[in-house]
Structures are given as structure tokens and as C-alpha cells.
Amino acid sequence: MSQGKFALTINRKPVSVTADADKPLLWVLREELKMPGTKFGCGQGLCGACTVLLDGQAVRSCQTPVSAAAGHKVTTIEGASAVPQGAKLVEMWREIDVPQCGYCQAGQILSATALLLANPKPSDEEIDAGMNGNLCRCATYLRIRRAIRKAAGMADVTGDAA
């Protein structure tokens, strides 16, 4: 494996790391950069816990070699609030207390940020489609939908009315 030096922009800060070219961005963030907010859930791109933004697009950092992230703008949960849509989502996540165990929520917030960046007023179907790659084992999905709707300035639908 070839070691290399890679220049990334993480949460608007230029960062340089030395790592194997194929080391996933997830493990570069967690191990080299000591940013543990991005979570390891499966390492197979199937759960979304490791979701980060690469130039505003949601990507699975466990499937993104650091070499592929070099030269791009990475946004992680630690910097999500610097994106206006991310800040609003984080505010709603707190207001309605979305997390249960909380492990998937960094990935959920980043996927939701990407969704609202691309589609400021998503329909219910578009929310589900945009968030379907992110597993929540506690199944907090009703509140994830609700927080996204509220962050998008749409009518509040609690999902728990009788």
C-alpha cells in the first residue's frame, strides 16, 4: 500500500494527512484527525452511520478512500452547523429530541443536510427516499421526518396524533 500525503478541506479548515491512499476517509477522520463524530457502523456502505458531505453531496466515508477525498471539501458532524441547513437541522434534532441511542444521528443529520441542499422543500416521499440509506436501529424515523420538515420550514406533522 502506498503511503501518501493528502490535502483535504475539513469543515472549512485545510488539513494535511499522511496515510495509505486506500485508507477510508472514515478511519482517517477517526484515527488520524481524532474526529470521532463520524461513526463506523458497517464498513460496507449499507448503514449510513459514516455519512459525510463531499462538496455538499452525501457520501459514505467508509467507502471513500482518503485519496478520493483529497482536494475536496469535507463536512462532518463536527462542522454541520456551519452549513445553514445543517444548523437548522441540528436545532430541530435537539428541539424534538430525535436521538434514542444516538449512534446513527451524525449520519442522519449529514444525509438530511445534503437532502435540503439539493431540495429545500422535499415531499414526504422525497424525504423517505433521501434518508433511506441511513439505518436507525432504534427506529427514530418518525422524528427524523418531522425534524427535516420543521428544518425546511414546512408544516409540523408529529406522526403521533391519534
Partner 1 sequence: MSAVIDRRGFMAASLVGAGALAFEARIALAQDPGAVPLNAFIRIGADNKVTIGSKNPEIGQGIRTMLPMLIAEELDLSWDQVVIEPTLANDKIYGVQSAGGSNSTPNNWLPMRQVGAAARAMILSAAAKEWGVDASSLTTAVGKVSHAASGRSAPYAAFARGAATETAPDLAKVALKDPSRFTIIGQSKIGVDTVAITRGKPLFGIDVDMPGLIHGAIIKAPAHGATIASHDAGAALKRKGVIAVVPVNSNSVAPGKFDTLVVVADSWWTAKNAREAVKVTWNDAAQQGFSTQAYDKGAAEALAAGPQIAHAKNGDVAKALAGAAKTITADYSYPFLAHGTLEPQNCTGRWVDGKLEIWAPSQAPNNGRSDTAAMLGIKGEDITIHQTRIGGGFGRRLINDYMVMAGQVAKALPGRPVKILFDRTDDLRHDYYRPAGWHRFTAGLDAKGDLVAFRDHFVSFGKDGKPIRAAEMSPFEFPVNVLADSEIGITYLPTNLATGWLRAPTSNAVSFVYQSFMDEIAQAAGIDLPELMRRTLGAPRDLAVVPGRPVLHSGRARAVIDGVCKMAGWQGGKLAPGPKGEKRGRGFGFYFSHRGYFAEVVDITITDGANVRVDKVWACGDIGSQIINPINARHQVQGAVNEGLGQGMVEQKIEQVKGVVQAESFGDFPLIRIEQVPREIAVQFLKTDYPPTGLGEPSLPPVIPALANAIFAATGQRLRQLPLKLA
Q: What residues line the site for partner 1 (CB under 8 A)?
A: 20, 23-24, 27, 31, 34-44, 46-47, 49, 76-78, 80-81, 90, 93-94, 97-106, 109, 124, 127-129, 131-132, 134-145, 157, 159-162
Strands 73-75 and 13-20: unpaired
> How many whole angstroms separate alpha carbon 75 and alpha carbon 80?
6
In the complex, least distance from residue 120 CB atom to partner 1, rounded to whole angstroms: 19
Q: Which C-beta is closer to partner 1: that of 76 or that of 85?
A: 76
Residue 93: CB atoms within 10 A of its CB come to 24
In the chain, the amino acid numbered 149 is R
CB of 153 to partner 1, least distance (A): 19
Q: How many CB atoms lie within 10 A of CB 131?
A: 22
CB of 98 to partner 1, least distance (A): 8
Sequence-ordered strand ranges (E) for the chain: 3-10, 13-20, 51-54, 57-60, 73-75
